[in-house]
Structure 1
Amino acid sequence: MLKNIHPKLPMRDKAITREYYQNKLGFKVLGNTDYEGYLMLGKDHIEIHFFEFKELNPRENYGMVYIRTDDIEGFYQSLLEKGTAIHPNGPLEIKPWGQKEFSILDPDNNLLTFGQNIS
């Protein structure tokens, strides 16, 4: 039985990634060990892991994650209040497939799409 998934995304700079996810998205660092070139972050019931890829060209990064939520409007508003940039093509809206969604890009151009079922 599959129970959880923890995506691993590339990052160029651990300090920048940690700061962005903590201060802009409300994530917390997981674990008691600071692994060189690796970062584990969590919020509520999800985890995202990051591996160091210093040579990453953000314009060539296709890392993406779809994250479901049960309070998309509240989370979206909290991001706006923190000054978190919303993807120019991904504002909060209802999609034809029955999801209310929005998207952001992190400092390394990883696409995070947040969605909530509206039916």
Structure 2
Amino acid sequence: MLTDLAEVMHLAYTNDPSWLVSVQFRFDEGYLQVEIDPDDDTVEVSFDPRQRPPLRHWVSDSVPTPTDQHYAGLLGMTSDWRWVLRNQQGYEDAFQIELSTPSSTTTLQYLAMASRLHLRHVNDGPNP
């Protein structure tokens, strides 16, 4: 379990601030990072208890971008569940994280397509 989400940082391609290449979550237990590998459009997930994990693919080509509007309501939440998702061709090309409080849950998905991450909010479906 990762507790008390304190910060979420997006890293974008230097030439286009809307081109998301990595997202970093800071919890009490450490830093969780998702980065896209531009060679095969897969996600790489890393964790470090002390500091932000170094980028492997976008070191000199990325800049931090503001995330306040996307994550302000999620700060303080806990993550019990995280997934790396595999597509029908066998590529690990998405990451999903569930953030929760005792009274609410938000699930975010980061899809790797065309050398960038796309953020999606996962919604509950109707009960059968």
Query: TM-score w.r.t. structure 2 length?
Result: 0.24
Query: TM-score w.r.t. structure 1 length?
Result: 0.25
